[in-house]
């Protein structure tokens, strides 16, 4: 399954330290190679800014699934992402 990052998600990613950027990128590659990456995701109860989220340590990647492509909308720490989403 393909994973695309929105410009907002790219901006969020570039704000993070390089080591964390690498960890998130590796995890996204792992998810993209799975036959059903949604089984690793959690559905959000209030999908105002995304329907699902991946957990990557203390960070969350909020995303929507559209036509078999995962669109990452936001990457932030847990306490920050749920205040916005």
Write the CATH number for 50: 3.30.2310.20
pLDDT for the residue numbered 83: 63
Range of the domain at 33: 2-84
Overall number of domains in the chain = 1
5-20 burial, b at 16+ Cβ within 10 Å, e below that, comes to beeebeebbeebeeeb
Confidence band, pLDDT 50/70/90 cuts, at residue 21: very high
Tokens 């993209």 found at? 32
Give how far Cα 45 sits from Cα of 53, 55, 79, Å. 11, 15, 16
pLDDT tens profile 30-81 = 999 999 999 999 999 877 778 999 999 999 999 999 998 999 999 999 888 8
Distance of CA 18 to the CA centre of its chain: 17
Please tell me the distance from the alpha carbon of residue 38 to that of residue 56, in angstroms, as a whole number: 14
């Amino acid at each position: 399954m393909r994973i695309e990052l929105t410009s907002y998600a790219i901006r969020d990613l570039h704000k993070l330290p390089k080591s964390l950027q690498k960890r998130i990128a590796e995890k996204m590659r792992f998810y993209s190679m799975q036959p059903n990456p949604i089984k690793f995701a959690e559905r959000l109860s209030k999908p105002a800014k995304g329907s699902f989220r991946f957990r990557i340590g203390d960070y969350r990647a909020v995303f929507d699934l559209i036509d078999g492509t995962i669109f990452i909308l936001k990457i932030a720490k847990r306490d920050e992402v749920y205040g916005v989403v």
